[in-house]
Amino acid sequence: MNQTDVRVRFAPSPTGPLHIGGVRTALFNYLFARKHGGKFILRIEDTDSTRFVPGAEEYINESLSWLGLKIDEGVREGGEYGPYKQSERRDIYRQYAQQLIDSGWAYYAFDTPEELDSLRSQYEADKKTFAYDVNNRSGLNNSLKLGAQETLKRIEAGEPYVIRFKMPENVDVSVKDIVRGQVTFNTSTLDDKVLFKSADQLPTYHLANVTDDHLMKITHVIRGEEWLPSLPLHVMLYRAFGWDKTMPEFAHLPLILKPSGKGKLSKRDGDKEGFPVFPLEYISPDGDVSAGYRESGYFPEAVNNLLVLLGWNPGTEQELFSIDELINLFTLERVNKSGARFDPDKAKWFNHQYLIKKSDTELASLYKTVLADKGIEADKDFLERIVGLVKERVNFVEELWEQTWFFFQKPQGYDEKVVKKRWKGDVPAFILKLAYLFDSSEFWDAEPLKEMVSAEINKQEQNFGNVMNALRLALVGGAFGPDLFTIIEILGKKECAERIKLAVETLGSH
């Protein structure tokens, strides 16, 4: 394989938000292109005008941009094989549909939807399934039965028609799939699919897909396994056009499964179990809001890392990969055939790993935005110190607030269980003495402060555990937070004294 020849495409339809299954397909295409020094193309497949959703194309572009999957050729980027939007390629498809008609590989069909529905009903009544295929095409309302003259007459009269592929009878179609190995289909099981519709002068997915892949010189078609049943038709289209010598290689990726492992992951699963299935938040035309990984606090590199391991296996125990490592290691031969179960907890674990790998400076900058939304301004050095103390405890930047709020405001209340267990006897009075001890201290570093308090506890014959827990209660409102004396050092002498006095006033000194 000439390294510079690889050309792959991600070809979503602008019919709504991009599912993470689609994002994974884009990621695998991107990694394969970069690995081989090739081109990653974004093609918008908008031939189904009835399902078009305004804003969906922009959503696709923004999603790929957020994940760092740089597009080489596309609607925005341009390129020598455009247009990259199928609705702008109508004349091209009409020409190739006509080519199939002229070569005898396709035919005109005038059957109305009502006629087809009636046939389906008749077949169902006989407990059969209707298929428009080699067994009945000669008796239906099409050019094979009507003849050239009648067909032309109907077309000129403006009668609606479709162009159907004339699937040959009893031909084995065998293709090597990079993921699945050799796959074989027999054409006797296939119907005559619609390739083109006169009503909107647009092709169906099948004709547009094969034509575009050929004209755009796509070398590898990497797509989800839901397209595997379409493979024999696509192969037959390559043969019908005489393009079989330049037909791309195929790789059909496994499904992403529900957390239970039973069935394909859906938006409903995410709604039910509280995790996103879309890269970015999506607001539907009717106002329905769906969660996105970006808005839920995930880092793009964590999402890429999570998705690549849903179907691809590096062959080692390593789980964390930079994008450069993935480009270096990725091969389609290491993609699994069987579905990959989505684990929401593992998704959080990946984000945690990337969070703790970030520098305190970067995290402080991200956290500063969270605090700004709460009307809090804080010093950069101060923020760096506190995020460094607690980042191991959180999965998301937003969660830093739960672990650090007490550095910014006094407790609004006190944990009743801790009060009942620790705030008793002469402990409150002893803690009040500590406030004065702190006030007179000539030093303010965690370790000597701890030594000073420990010495005082021993001197007054207090219970070490009771005092430490009660002191923490007074300062943060409960039994949580990082090292107590680090908290004391960061809060400062004046703030610690105020908080201790406030706790004694609120809870009493017994």
Helices (H), 131-280: 143-146, 148-156, 205-215, 231-241, 267-273
Give 393's DSSP letter: G
Q: In what order do the strands lie in the sheet with 172-177?
A: 39-42, 7-10, 220-224, 249-253, 172-177, 181-186
Distance separating alpha carbons of residues 378 and 351, to the nearest angstrom? 25
Please say whether the beta carbons of 260 and 26 come within 8 A: no
Q: In what order do the strands lie in the sheet with 106-109?
A: 106-109, 162-165, 194-197, 202-203
Q: State yes or no: 267 annotated in a binding site.
A: yes
3-class DSSP assignment, residue 341: strand
Read off the tokens for 332: 């389609």
Phi, psi angles (nearest 5°) of residue 360: -60, -30
Distance separating alpha carbons of residues 172 and 155, to the nearest angstrom? 34
3-class DSSP assignment, residue 39: strand
Read off the tokens for 51: 């399902």
Q: Which of 35, 85, 217, 267 is catalytic?
A: 267
3-class DSSP assignment, residue 201: coil
Give Cβ neighbours of residue 484 (< 8 Å, ≥ 6 apart).
450, 468, 471, 472, 475
Read off the tokens for 505: 């006033």
Active site residue 35: no
CB atoms closer than 10 angstroms to residue 468: 19
Whose tokens are 């004709």? That residue is 207
CB atoms closer than 10 angstroms to residue 292: 20
Read off the tokens for 64: 């790929």
Annotated binding site: 267
Annotated binding site for ATP: 267
Please give the positions annotated as active site. 267
